[in-house]
Amino acid sequence: MKATTMMLCVSVLTALAVPAQAAGDPKVGQTKTSMCAGCHGIPGWRTAYPDVYSVPKLGGQHADYIVAALKGYKSGERSHPSMDAIAGSLTEQDMNDLAAYYASSYSGPAQ
């Protein structure tokens, strides 16, 4: 009985240690990047509306973070005029696909 319990505990801990894969499809996500590339695809890009700041690089970012950020813009928890409009047009599957693509595409150090 003790060996079975130990084996079950090891199995559960092993499953928890394996990183979860994004729910999206990176190949499909790549086809949805046109709305992102105008700002996030330009190295060193700064936006001037509503304030001047550096636009974050998405390639290599964690998929869960990207999805959470997009959901935050869509719900109003986060706010930026361009991102509010873009995220508002995305389905949850779109968000997952984009996140899977950007999480799998690292192209150098962050800006």
Report yes or no on whether pTM surpasses 0.75.
no
Domain membership of residue 111 (yes or no) is no
pLDDT in tens, 19-53: 445 489 999 999 999 999 888 887 777 777 667 77
Supply the CATH number for residue 96's domain.
1.10.760.10
Q: How confident is the model at residue 4 (pLDDT cuts 50, 70, 90)?
A: low
* Domain that includes residue 47, residue range: 23-104
Domain membership of residue 12 (yes or no) is no
- Name every residue whose Cβ is closer than 8 Å to that of residue 1 and which is 6 or more positions away in sequence: none
Q: Which residue has the tokens 């998929």?
A: 63
Q: How many domains does the chain have?
A: 1
Strand partners, 46: 54
Neighbours of 21 (CB within 10 A): 9
pLDDT in tens, 44-85: 777 776 677 788 889 999 999 999 999 999 999 999 999 999
Domain membership of residue 100 (yes or no) is yes
- At 91, list the tokens: 């389905």
- When comparing pLDDT for 16 and 99, which is higher? 99
Query: Reduced to 3 states, what is the DSSP secondary structure of residue 66?
Result: helix
